[in-house]
Chains A and B, each alone.
Chain A
């Protein structure tokens, strides 16, 4: 194509700078503030320059005498890991079924997944709480893993079925000619080809579970089950303005795993997520 004038190029990058500033500066301010000493955090002229960088707030956030993020993160890690594994397993089965099934039921299943994706939070909170109470599962990790499946599975199945559709069916036919059963075909022929998809779906579930606030809020209370989000939110309520530094540091710590995992899964997730949205 033709070349743009310098002014046009400048305009494009100017617009990019504005957009990126809006998106990144708030998070950067969190990071910068968390590294300041208490004196400079509360100075009357906030500055983007860190005079004397300090990790004091981080040691408060991580340590047992402070917020004890180490323990909170341990709790959350167990819950999120289990959630991710379960989601990946069942989304793999159902996604494969959905990708290959040709009967009328497939439409019903797709509409069901779509509705399930919307049916969240306040619409199902009350019965879930009662069920948890009746089964004596309140304040356990089990109930968190169970309820997290409701938010991860619908989109995870959809994503997986997208990945499976990219695998040509000739491979299955070949495997069957070689005498492999259908499960065997799935496990040893198809799955190795969709491994990136499986990993992406697992990471997706992990991130959703890690970020959850509403379900953990109603389901957990004791320090043994509390998740990162609940721990931070509680400290924010109780200490509020007195310990901004510690809260900010905790926020940075809570966001690191998510950003790292998302960077890993980004490519596959974006492919899968936008494919369905644009075709319709």
Chain B
């Protein structure tokens, strides 16, 4: 379950607060004595804030602080292999990455290839799965449950499955593809800088589309039958209904699901690492795996921080552009 669900309600759309009416607001705050005000504030806010505070504090310390610490690290020369203490170097790490590192731009390009290919496929396949499962079928609940299996599988096991299917010598893929004549001879998929990509994209699609399908399915079930029947009466074809009724109606869901998929895929380290370790060479390295390479194979935390910070900056820009393009219309 790696493509974790996200609370997606926007602040404005939060369901109307239920709950106790609470003590009436004093008409003029100034006219109430101080202790009374504090007591009232505590009655209204105190208990709930107290309940939320452990989690909120933890997220602050365990996630938001590390975020800033990562950016701070990127401006330091900090190598675990050298005995020298950290030293502030300003933009040196970035400069090195952008101008001297031979792999960096390739890694950036791979990241874009990965995020565009993977999310597009996930959205298309996920929506298709949802449309198929939204029809009148026996045992629909069972199919929906089974559909989610790839999504809850550990990424390492997923890697085993697809490495085995695409094994160069004994893999099922080579066997079938040569049998039906598409391939003349077996391919060592994971050993080839080009052929490794289809395997990666197929794997991430297999793993990621069930979650998209789940969200789209929920949206599809929210479309009232009347609308579709009205379109049917108007004499539209099934294809027209899909293009002009169904898809526009699930558009907001597709947008949310797409945004989540883009951000999560951009930072997804595990699928690629479990499948290829970013290889062969750096052929499938993306920014997150490059962070790992820099930090835990070269022990250069400053450089790793710079890679991570660059990744964050790029995704902020992408998310902003996507929100502008598709968000409000």
With an 8 A cutoff between CB atoms, is A49 at the interface? no
B242: chain A residues within 8 A (beta carbon): none
Q: Is the CB of A182 within 8 A of B47?
A: yes
With an 8 A cutoff between CB atoms, is A69 at the interface? no
A150: chain B residues within 8 A (beta carbon): 58-59, 62-63
With an 8 A cutoff between CB atoms, is A158 at the interface? yes
Nearest opposing residue in chain B for A152, CB measure: B4
Which of B18, B63, B295 has the most A CB atoms < 10 Å from its CB?
B63
Given contacts A29-B164, A278-B218, contact A241 B263 (CB under 8 A): no
Given contacts A23-B146, A120-B267, A122-B308, contact A93 B52 (CB under 8 A): yes
The dominant DSSP class at the A interface is: helix
B256: chain A residues within 8 A (beta carbon): 277, 280
Give bound CA distance, A46 to B178, whole Å. Answer: 13
Segment at the interface with B among A52-60, A192-200, A255-263: A255-263
Q: Is the CB of B147 within 8 A of A102?
A: no
Chain A nearest CB from B156 CB (Å) reads 4
Q: Is the CB of A27 within 8 A of B73?
A: no
Q: Is the CB of B55 within 8 A of A123?
A: no
Give bound CA distance, A42 to B320, whole Å. Answer: 50
Chain B nearest CB from A234 CB (Å) reads 10
With an 8 A cutoff between CB atoms, is B305 at the interface? yes
Q: Is the CB of B59 within 8 A of A116?
A: yes
Chain B nearest CB from A93 CB (Å) reads 5
Give bound CA distance, A236 to B6, whole Å. Answer: 32
Show 9 A/B contacts (Cβ-Cβ < 8 Å), sorted by A. Answer: A97-B52, A110-B7, A112-B59, A154-B59, A172-B20, A211-B155, A236-B160, A278-B253, A279-B13
B251: chain A residues within 8 A (beta carbon): none
Ordered nearest first, which 8 A-B pairs have the shortest CB separation?
Answer: A97-B51, A101-B48, A158-B7, A274-B218, A127-B66, A124-B66, A94-B55, A127-B69
A187: chain B residues within 8 A (beta carbon): none
Q: Is the CB of B274 within 8 A of A233?
A: yes
Report B176-218 CB contacts with A as 1/0, cut-off 8 Å: 0000000000000000000000000000001000100011011
Q: Is the CB of A122 within 8 A of B311?
A: yes
List CB contacts (< 8 Å) of B207-236 with chain A.
210, 214-215, 217-219, 222
Which of A4, A122, A204 lies in contact with B267, CB distance below 8 A? A122
Which of A102, A112, A126 lies in contact with B17, CB distance below 8 A? A102
Given contacts A23-B147, A247-B160, contact A155 B67 (CB under 8 A): no
Given contacts A94-B56, A277-B256, contact A251 B160 (CB under 8 A): yes
Nearest opposing residue in chain A for B18, CB measure: A169
Q: Is the CB of A279 within 8 A of B15?
A: yes
Q: Is the CB of B308 within 8 A of A23?
A: no
Given contacts A150-B59, A262-B148, contact A254 B157 (CB under 8 A): yes
Nearest opposing residue in chain B for A103, CB measure: B45
Chain A nearest CB from B263 CB (Å) reads 5
Give bound CA distance, A153 to B57, whole Å. Answer: 12
Chain B nearest CB from A24 CB (Å) reads 6
Give bound CA distance, A63 to B111, whole Å. Answer: 40
Q: Is the CB of B73 within 8 A of A127?
A: yes
A135: chain B residues within 8 A (beta carbon): none
With an 8 A cutoff between CB atoms, is A6 at the interface? no
With an 8 A cutoff between CB atoms, is B282 at the interface? no
Give bound CA distance, A113 to B63, whole Å. Answer: 10
Chain B nearest CB from A275 CB (Å) reads 8
With an 8 A cutoff between CB atoms, is A184 at the interface? no
Segment at the interface with A among B87-95, B98-106, B113-121, B135-143: B135-143
Nearest opposing residue in chain B for A131, CB measure: B66
B135: chain A residues within 8 A (beta carbon): 12, 15-16
